[in-house]
């Protein structure tokens, strides 16, 4: 369990980093916290020729509120969010998610940009941020583009990143005062990856609901207009109206054949709904 040989660079500014990635033409890998890439290197599951360590890029460490949204640099760590060092527009929703990611040692080093880029279906941010309606901005030498988190994750361990591109920031919209947030997951043990995640952002006042079923084998199921899960409309009494059959059908449609697995996912989602609060 030792990595295959690779070259290592630690650029001091984003442009240099992007140039290195471009020059690496696909055989370069970015490392930030290294909490996923480290083990994958040691297991030789990835064997890049070049590792670009971006942990020295000050540009990616900022966290600021701008124009009604929170812009988190890709290098903000889970612990920054857990400890309240990063600004927040979600009224604690992100802080609660961060506090339950893996173990503290992982949270100290693991970054929000790294977690999204790695696109592990069982990780927390790809589900939580999709439910919160977040977007990511991606930068390369050619410029910047932005997209919703649910579009960014295209498959298990597969993101929309092009060669030479990097997640620059996460943009999280301000959670309205009337929006209820619920997040539940089931893990075999403390700190393990979840085997079921349910994330809900339900705003009865606006009659809107975003629902995410995560930790399935592929991309999370993201329902941005989730009225169908509550009998066709989102109202103040949405909790008793939650329809497990619709959720089960969504999972079946996503290719989950195992009834027990679907039942656990639906139960976790139901818990997120029942525990959702303003």
Partner 1 sequence: MKEKVGVRNEREFPSGKSGQGVGARLPRKEDERLMRGRGQYVADIRLAGLQDIAFVRSPLAHARIRGIHVPERHRGSVFTAADLDGIKPIRAVSGLPGFKISEQPVLATGKVRQVGELVAMCLAPTRAEAEDIAASVTLDLEELPAVYDMLKAREPGSALVHDHWGDNVFLETNFEVDISAALGAPIKVTREISTARQCMSPLEGRGVVATFDRRLDQLTLHSAAQMPHITRSGLAECLGMEEGQIRVISPDVGGGFGHKGILLPEEVCLSWLTMRRGHPVRWIEDRREHLVASSNCREHHYRITVYADRDGTLRGIDCEATVDSGAYSSYPFSACLEAAQVASILPGPYKMPAYRCRTFSVATNKCPILPYRGVARTGVCFALELMLDLVAAEAGLEPGEVRLRNLVRPEQMPFDNITRKHFDSGDYPEAMRRALAAIDIDAIRAKQGRGEADGRRLGVGVSIYCEQAAHGTSVYSGWGIPMVPGHEQASARLTPDGGLELRVGVHSHGQGMETTLAQVAHEILGVDVAKIRIILGDTAMTPYSTGTWGSRSMVMAGGAVATACRELGERARRIGAKLLQHDPASVVLQNGEVRGVNGSVSLKAIAHTWYRRPQDLPADVDPGGLEVTQGYKPVRDSGTFSYAAHAAVVAVDPDLGEVEILDYVIVEDGGVLVNPLVVDGQIYGGLAQGIGTALYEEMPFDASGQPLATTLADYLLPGPTEVPAARLDHMETPSPYTQFGVKGIGEGGAIAPPAAIANAVNDALRPLGVELMQSPITPHRIVAAVLAARAAERSAA
Binding residues (CB under 8 A) for partner 1: these are 1-5, 39, 43-44, 186, 188-193, 195-196, 258-261, 263-264, 267-268, 270-271
**163: number of Cβ within 10 Å:** 12
Comparing CB distances to partner 1, the nearer of 195 and 239 is: 195
Shortest distance, position 194 Cβ to partner 1, whole Å: 11
Comparing CB distances to partner 1, the nearer of 59 and 275 is: 275
Shortest distance, position 65 Cβ to partner 1, whole Å: 35
Q: Which two tokens stand for residue 14?
A: 């984003």
Comparing CB distances to partner 1, the nearer of 177 and 260 is: 260
Within a 13 Å sphere around the CA of 86, how many CA atoms are in the beta-carbon half?
30
Shortest distance, position 93 Cβ to partner 1, whole Å: 22
Helix axis angle, 259-275 to 244-253, nearest 10°: 130
Shortest distance, position 215 Cβ to partner 1, whole Å: 12
Comparing CB distances to partner 1, the nearer of 39 and 84 is: 39
Shortest distance, position 4 Cβ to partner 1, whole Å: 6
DSSP strands (E only) in the chain: 7-9, 28-31, 50-53, 63-66, 69-73, 135-140, 143-148, 153-155, 158-159, 166-173, 180-187, 194-203, 208-214, 221-223
Shortest distance, position 271 Cβ to partner 1, whole Å: 8
Q: Which residues pair with 155 in a beta bridge?
A: 158
Comparing CB distances to partner 1, the nearer of 91 and 239 is: 239
Comparing CB distances to partner 1, the nearer of 144 and 252 is: 252
* Cα separation, 80 vs 61, whole angstroms: 10
Query: Among residues 232, 186, 240, which one has the least CA distance to residue 209?
Result: 232
Q: Are strands 194-203 and 208-214 parallel, antiparallel or unpaired?
A: antiparallel
Tell me the CA distances in angstroms from 155 to 159, 203, 213, 224, one per residue in order: 7, 29, 14, 18
């Amino acid at each position: 369990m030792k990595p295959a040989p690779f070259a290592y660079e630690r650029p001091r500014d984003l442009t240099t980093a992007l140039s290195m990635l471009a020059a690496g033409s696909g055989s370069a890998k970015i490392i930030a916290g290294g909490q996923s890439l480290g083990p994958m290197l040691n297991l030789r599951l990835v064997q890049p020729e070049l590792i670009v360590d971006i942990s020295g890029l000050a540009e990616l460490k900022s966290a600021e509120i701008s124009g009604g949204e929170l812009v988190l640099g890709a290098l903000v760590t889970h612990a920054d969010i857990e400890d309240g060092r990063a600004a927040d527009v979600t009224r604690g929703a992100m802080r609660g998610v961060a506090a339950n990611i893996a173990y503290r040692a992982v949270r100290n080093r693991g970054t929000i940009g790294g977690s999204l880029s790695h696109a592990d279906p069982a990780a927390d941010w790809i589900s939580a941020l999709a439910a919160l309606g977040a977007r990511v901005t991606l930068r390369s030498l050619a410029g910047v583009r932005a997209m919703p988190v649910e579009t960014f994750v295209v498959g298990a361990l597969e993101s929309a990143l092009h060669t030479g591109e990097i997640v620059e920031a996460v943009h999280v919209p301000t959670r309205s005062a009337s929006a209820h947030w619920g997040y539940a997951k089931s893990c075999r043990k403390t700190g393990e990856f979840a085997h079921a995640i349910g994330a809900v952002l339900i705003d009865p006042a606006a009659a809107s609901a975003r629902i995410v079923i995560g930790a399935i084998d592929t991309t999370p199921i993201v329902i941005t207009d989730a009225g169908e899960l509550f009998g066709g409309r989102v109202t103040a009494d949405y909790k008793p109206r939650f329809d497990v059959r619709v959720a089960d059908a969504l999972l079946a449609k996503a290719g989950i054949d195992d009834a027990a697995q679907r039942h656990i996912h639906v139960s976790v989602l139901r818990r997120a709904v029942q525990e959702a609060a303003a």
